[in-house]
Chain A
Amino acid sequence: MAQNYTIGASTAQITLELNVNTIGLAASRVFYLDVAGTGAGKAVAHSVDATGDIATAPVGNFSTLKGMRLATFTKISLIGADADARQTEANNCTAECTIDGGDGGIKTYTNPDKTYLDPNVFLSFSIDMQ
């Protein structure tokens, strides 16, 4: 479910931090798009290893983000031959997304959209920037 973040009158850089908790292989991408449009959006950050985490990174400011939907998208590939264990881990995968720099201050989101299509799990935060 899409959530909100208030940039308000802030002109500071908006930063994003993503922490993925899984024992699978994870890769993440951050992008923003016009939710009413049809384009694929613009990528602004990526993870750099198989944790899927993204250390605090600037993702834009009010001029680029206000009115847009900032999104994270994480692909997790669950390793191992045991299908039951993969199912259990799919349920256990969690993520936290923290945004800062706007009038909303530091705000942490913990309830991503999740889809499991064995052996992959997809997690996504959708945050409307106001």
Chain B
Amino acid sequence: MKKIIITIVIGISGMAAFAQSPANTKLSDLAVPASPAFVITDITPTLIQDPATPKSLVLGIAQSTVQQSGLAFPNNYSAEFAPYWWIKPDGRNVYGVLGINKQTGKEDPFAGLKFSRISIAFINKDLIPDTSSGNQKVFAIGLRTTLIKVHGKQWAANITKTIADWVTAAKGELDFTANADVQAAYVRASGNPDKQAQIIKDYNNSMTAASFAAINKLLLQKPTFTWDIAGAYSAYGINNQTISTGRNGAWTTLSYYQPLDKGNVNYFNIGGSVRYLVDNFQKDDAGVIGRANNLDVGGSAGFSFNQLTIGVESLYRYSKGVANTANRTVGVVNFKVAENIYVSGIFGKDFAGPNKIISAFGLNWGFGSEKVELPAGQ
């Protein structure tokens, strides 16, 4: 009963806080965005396609294309994909995806480059802050990659050893008499997938279980250092004849994680970020719409514990154009109350606009298992 009352009180206070400050503040403004094309256009698509082939990308765009005001344009289509998976190169293996050199056992710090992701969006949205409420046909494209990713000294050695343990266990497992019988039955049932699916249920995976769990645990460890970059471009179709460049941006983030315990569960992290944004339709405090070049330079620091993350980020914005030089400093707190239930708070001062003071507090719950990250996380 006590827990229920606490939850209700937190929920009500959260709603009250949001009512006082409707500012739509994100918890990760400093970090390189996962999907730059969506961030540059301020959209959070509920359905993001992940086309497995170029053909499915083209087909998806074609299927969402409709005639609008005499112009064919995809209606709210968004996709994100890594071209690496389109190529499906021969020789793909676990060492390559983990960035481990099979011969030397050393980590390749540039292994993340091949998994660079492209995001694209076709949306109908009013992104010009004028008095007209008409939507523009907006196209945005972005790229995100991890230039450098380095784990701690022991990580590569540990994961190489654990994989070797798995290989040894897997050989024993395949040769295990009961499993050899399963394989023989499976091979005799070749061409009958239903029967094979029944047979394989008897395969005994227990010999590799420990090393498999150990590898998955090592994968959860954060890298010691990462350098991420991203860029995005958007164009607005003002009408059927006029297409204007809208917002463009480039981000880069350096992050350092210091484990606070032997299990690598709790971390202290610091990060530095530079973000360059050009908005050809930015509105300043006086209501003037024009081009603004914004260079944001800042940093973040925070602690990430098992159930609590707390951090602060500060950005200094150098502006040229209609906007003014300003700074933004916010603190962020997330507390995991229970599985998939988080209490989140953000407070501080934003760059500009009628609500410069940020104060938001709320309760987030859901069915996913993703943890809310600190600014500049990942």
Contact = CB atoms under 8 A, between A and B. Distances in A.
A1 B190 contact: yes
B216 A81 contact: yes
Interface residues of A, number: 47
B90 A113 contact: no
Contacts of B175: 29, 43
Given A25-B212, A122-B200, A40 B180 contact: yes
Main secondary structure of the interface of B (DSSP, over half): helix
A81 B96 CA distance: 18
B215 interface: yes
Interface string B183-208: 11011101101001100110101001
Interface in B133-191: 163, 166-167, 170-171, 173-175, 177, 180-181, 183-184, 186-188, 190-191
Q: Quick one: which of B91, B96, B180 has the most chain A CB within 10 A?
A: B180
Interface string A18-52: 01111111111101010100011101001111111
A92 B90 CA distance: 12
Interface string B86-109: 001011111111000010000000
A25 B186 contact: no
Interface string B218-242: 0110000000000000000000000
A2 B186 CA distance: 11
A125 to B, nearest CB: 9
A34 to B, nearest CB: 10
A26 to B, nearest CB: 7
Nearest to A36: B188
Given A47-B167, A50-B95, 19 more contacts: A21-B91, A21-B92, A23-B92, A23-B93, A25-B163, A25-B166, A26-B94, A27-B167, A29-B183, A43-B180, A46-B174, A49-B102, A73-B187, A75-B173, A92-B85, A115-B196, A122-B203, A124-B183, A124-B187
18 contacts: A1-B190, A1-B191, A2-B191, A22-B93, A25-B94, A25-B163, A25-B166, A28-B174, A43-B175, A51-B94, A51-B95, A69-B187, A73-B183, A77-B212, A79-B215, A81-B220, A113-B191, A117-B201
Interface of B: 52, 85, 88, 90-97, 102, 163, 166-167, 170-171, 173-175, 177, 180-181, 183-184, 186-188, 190-191, 193, 196-197, 200-201, 203, 205, 208, 212, 215-216, 219-220, 369
